Amino acid sequence: MSSQKSLLIRRARIILPDGELMVGDLLTRDRQIVEVAPQISTTTPTTEVDAEGLTLLPGVIDPQVHFREPGLEHKEDLATASRACAKGGVTSFLEMPNTRPLTTNQQALDDKLQRASQKSLVNYGFFIGATAENLPDLLEAKPTPGIKIFMGSMHGQLLVDQEGLLEAIFAQGHRLIAVHAEDQARINQRRQEFADIHDPAVHSQIQDNQAALLATKLALKLSQKYQRRLHILHLSTAEEADLLRQEKPSWVTAEVTPQHLLLNTSAYEKIGTLAQMNPPLRSPHDNEVLWQALRDGVIDFIATDHAPHTLAEKAQAYPNSPSGMPGVETSLALMLTAAMAGQCTIAQVTHWMSKAVAVAYGIPNKGAIAPGYDADLVLVDLQTYRPVLKEELLTKCGWSPFEGWNLTGWAVKTIVGGEIVYDQGKVNESVRGQALNFLE
């Protein structure tokens, strides 16, 4: 491991915790930020970075990714995924339990933590997955950001779609429950109705807005009944956003993905099954309502739902083509490009991709640029536009639904625990992230 004890970043445009911009310097020591000031002088031996013209943001915390290890490493693994994170300015991730074996008990969680400690270039946390039978594991496993429930869109043991079983989970314990909210009964019924259609665009009709709304309503009802901390993963419809706008208890949060903000059903025509994900892409109207809900604080933060599949898997005819698309490499640049186009501010993007996530999951000392916070940072270039190029992607799956999009705000340098892990196209393979802590 490299032993870079101290890093001095000079003349950066720094986004401060209140969203204000300050041109100045930042000093790190032993993994933490120790000083942020217009000008810093130091006598400690220090690596210096001249960041003139670049913007310094807290590193992105991506709270929903599928990194496929163990068991599905032909799609992605913790080394390739965390390199992709470093390139995308993502310094921490929260990973989902649908790996093989499923992450449904302490042993499987410990195995993932062990693998990540050896391989992950960025910081990591792992959800524990709910089945019909593992309530004791859900209550006791640690460290974990929370319990993941697939209410729909999942096969096998991880599917918990019966109200009685869901209620048993909501009724016991206090820790955060994160739901994939789609109604499986409605999906099953509609899948039969549309069985003869192999155009991938039918995916958005089968798993329609109503399927998402029904499940989100049920999760909200149970959360209200037990005052249970609830997080709604990848909210995708105008109807769910309107529902939350009317009634959102203080203990409920929601996230949206860049693809549900920026892509819609018109993508099937251009990229076919590469646009297939769960919950599916929606209409331009849904895009607009989701943006407004995000700006108004109805939706709290951004997650990518990075879910890589190989091109060969995606080349199968619908419905045999798997759902999911990669995201960690492009999310920050996509959101900063939207900000530069006037959709929102840079300060909002950094709030949605760092601070708001740290607060929602109780991750201490992360998500802001201030003394005492961990030195997880990203320096971005907001002056240059460059396209998303397939040959530059680090994710093992090797494709992006955003190929050819011309983006700004690409990471120039990414810093994890005070060490430069990504530097203008080069990944420093010797850096290792740490396990995240979660305050309950």
In the complex, the residues that contact ligand DOR under the rule CB under 6 A are 66, 98, 153, 180, 277-278, 305, 307, 322-324
Nearer to ligand DOR, 35 or 313 (CB): 313
Compare residues 124 and 422 and give the one whose CB is closer to ligand DOR.
124
Q: Which of 25, 62, 161, 305 is catalytic?
A: 305
Burial class (CB in 10 A: 0-12, 13-18, 19+), 236: buried
CB-wise, 70 or 322, nearer to ligand DOR? 322
In the complex with ligand DOR, the residue whose CB is nearer, 74 or 225, is: 74
First to last CA, the chain: 32
Identity of the residue, 79 or 307, whose beta carbon is nearer to ligand DOR in the bound complex:
307
Are 274 and 401 a contacting pair, CB within 8 Å? yes
305 catalytically annotated: yes
**Which residue's Cβ has the minimum distance to ligand DOR?**
324
Distance between alpha carbon 27 and the CA centroid of its chain, in Å? 28
Q: How far apart are CA 103 and CA 134, in angstroms?
A: 11
We find the least distance from the C-beta atom of residue 196 to ligand DOR, in angstroms, to be 23
Q: How far is the CB of 152 from ligand DOR (least distance, A)?
A: 9
CB-CB contact of 403 with 330 (8 Å): no
**Closest separation between CB of residue 22 and ligand DOR, Å?**
39
The distance of closest approach from Cβ of residue 180 to ligand DOR in the complex, given in angstroms and rounded to an integer, is 5
Residue closer to ligand DOR, measured from CB, 59 or 401: 401
Q: How far is the CB of 182 from ligand DOR (least distance, A)?
A: 9
CB of 375 to ligand DOR, least distance (A): 31
Least distance in angstroms from the C-beta of 306 to ligand DOR: 9
Q: Minimal CA–CA distance to 337: which of 403, 377, 304, 383?
A: 383
CB of 68 to ligand DOR, least distance (A): 8
The smaller minimum CB distance to ligand DOR, of residues 105 and 278, is found at 278
Query: In 3D, which of 347, 341, 406, 416 has the Cα closest to residue 378?
Result: 416
Nearer to ligand DOR, 194 or 385 (CB): 194
One-letter-per-residue 3-state SS of the chain: CCCCCEEEEEEEEEECCCCCEEEEEEEEECCEEEEEECCCCCCCCCEEEECCCCEEEECEEEEEECCCCCCCCCCCCHHHHHHHHHHHCEEEEEECCCCCCCCCCHHHHHHHHHHHHHHCCCEEEECEECCCCCHHHHHHCCCCCCEEEECCCCCHHHECCCHHHHHHHHHCCCCCEEEECCCHHHHHHHHHHCCCCCCHHHHHHHCCHHHHHHHHHHHHHHHHHHCCCEEECCCCCHHHHHHHHHCCCCCEEEEECHHHHHCCCCHHHHHHHHHCCCCCCCCHHHHHHHHHHHHCCCCCEECCCECCCCHHHHCCCCCCCCCCCCCCCCHHHHHHHHHHCCCCCHHHHHHHHHHHHHHHHCCCCCCCCCCCCECCEEEEECCCCEECCHHHCCCCCCCCCCCCCEECCEEEEEEECCEEEEECCEECCCCCCCECCCCC
Q: Which residues are the active-site residues?
A: 305
